[in-house]
Amino acid sequence: MNETTTTHIGVDVSKEHLDCDLNGKPLRLPNTPAGASTLLRKLADHAAPVQVNLEATGCYTRPLVRACLAAGVPVALINPRHIRSYARAAGQLAKTDEIDARIITAYARHFNPPCLGGEWLERDRLAQYHRRLEVLIKTRASRKTSMDHYEDAWLRGEIRREIAALDKRIETIAKAIDSIIDNDPVLVEKRRLMERTTGVGPATSRTLAVTFPELGTLNRGQAAALAGLAPMNRDSGAGRGKRCIQAGRAKPRKALYMAALTAAYRNPMFSAYFKRLREGGKPVKVALTAVARKLLIHLNTELKSCHQIT
């Protein structure tokens, strides 16, 4: 949508309220289906096309996003870090819900963020399942660690039974995610292409399919930056700082790092590269991070061909 013809509406979302900026006029509504319906009715009075803009702050934004998509109202989710940086750059240090709504509007007018498509609903559903899977995996890991703190045989048996129950729940959630993915031919093909690479197993391909849907549509620099695997310069004047990775999405980065542990030793495509880095004096973690980045770029290229086919 064109920036000059679109009326951008900023909405600051909290658990209880929707604080809206309607062309400079503040409006507070309850964060309920009724509140979302009231906002959409007010937006229907605008002659120009309207775009609703929200910070991507989790579960409390979901009802309004769903309502906008159902009503055919363009809606965008914006990285909260970008909003805060924009506010500081504009000299806006005070922070209230009303001010935040105005800042979101100003940011959207300036940058015209892309709108969500209908596929967001299924992607969000997958993300919820994957989030639950991660919680169960972390819980299982903590139970396994706790075994070291108990010597009593009955207690250790109790912990083992809890771990066995968690194993079954993890398997159930993983199968549910795979079932959802299996109903999407594009995701099925993406997973097949990713798993052709030694080091990328079902868990890694599942994580990337759910948390990195843009993979295969980006150039190599964009992919590395979005995953937080692009080394950032820290130079100023004559000084040359140490380059390091920062920001990006933690979940795909972690999955790629774990895949790199296998690829660095078992995949000829990456093992020679890893060996060369180690022989050059690079620490293990630095070398593995470089392998993870190289693996990401390889997968991004593989999935580009998938997009061209589909």
- Which domains does the chain possess? 7-111 (3.30.420.10), 120-183 (1.20.58), 206-309 (no CATH)
pLDDT computed for residue 129 by the predictor: 92
Q: What is the mean pLDDT of residues 96-110?
A: 91
Q: Which amino acid is at 115?
A: C
Q: What is the mean pLDDT of residues 158-182?
A: 93
Asked which of 82-86, 98-102, 243-247, 278-282 is least confident by mean pLDDT, the reply is 243-247
The CA distances from residue 60 to 51, 64, 77, 212, in Å, are 19, 8, 12, 22
pLDDT computed for residue 3 by the predictor: 46
Query: Does pLDDT of 273 surpass 80?
Result: yes
pLDDT computed for residue 305 by the predictor: 65
Mean of the per-residue pLDDT values for the chain? 85
pLDDT computed for residue 310 by the predictor: 45
Query: Does pLDDT of 66 surpass 70?
Result: yes
CA neighbor of 303 nearest in space, from 228, 227, 229, 212 = 212
pLDDT computed for residue 306 by the predictor: 57
Reported as a pLDDT band with limits 50, 70 and 90, residue 232 is low
Query: Does pLDDT of 300 surpass 90?
Result: no
User: If you search the block for the tokens 């959207």, which residue do you land on?
Assistant: 108
pLDDT computed for residue 199 by the predictor: 87
39 touches 63 (CB < 8 A): no
Q: What is the mean pLDDT of residues 202-222?
A: 85
